[in-house]
Amino acid sequence: MAVLYGLARYHYYAIMLASSPYRTRRDELDRLIAVHEDVGPFPPGKEIPMYFGATTFEVPFYGNDSEKMKQWAAQVQKVFPKFGRRRVQTEIISHAIIENDGEEHLSYSARIVIPIRCRLAAFFEDADYTIPVWANAIVLALYAWRLITRT
């Protein structure tokens, strides 16, 4: 009963109510456009795989404030773990845009590189975060199996 209670309690408070590391990373990846150097951007609406796939991404919008773009890129950098001397790299790119009236202003976007080893480290971080749920589920399944096969 204690294992079942612990499993339900952790699942509710840590996974259902809180934003897990996986959900935070998934939300950030969903806001990016994956770029493959050989084929260009992914088709719109296609979900980016969490742990494998493209490593280079672009922000799908341009902003007039470079500081906001830097803060947004720093947020993406923060949600993926550093691993093996590698970390998420961000580059703010400025574009000169000429309006219809001939006035020029700068617009900013970001290019983000998430190395595969950082994404794999995220997998192990996600597994560690959810271990109270799936480890208890395994214990309960083994206990139930033992009860069933004993008869």
The count of C-alpha atoms lying within 13 angstroms of the C-alpha of 63, restricted to the half-sphere facing its C-beta, is 15
pLDDT in tens, 50-88: 888 788 888 877 778 888 888 888 888 999 999 888 999
Angle between helices 21-30 and 116-150 (to 10 degrees): 130
Please write the tens of the pLDDT for every residue from 119-135.
999 999 998 888 887 88
Q: What's the whole-model pTM score?
A: 0.73
pLDDT-derived band at 148, boundaries 50, 70, 90: very high
Question: Domain-by-domain residue ranges, the chain?
Answer: 21-128
Q: Which residues pair with 63 in a beta bridge?
A: 108
Query: Would you state the pLDDT for residue 42?
Result: 54
Beta bridge partners of 89: 113
- Helix 116-150 × helix 2-10 angle, to 10°: 150
pLDDT tens string 8-65: 888 788 778 878 888 899 888 888 888 865 555 555 556 778 888 788 888 877 778 8
Segments of 1-58 assigned E as strands: 33-36, 40-41, 56-58
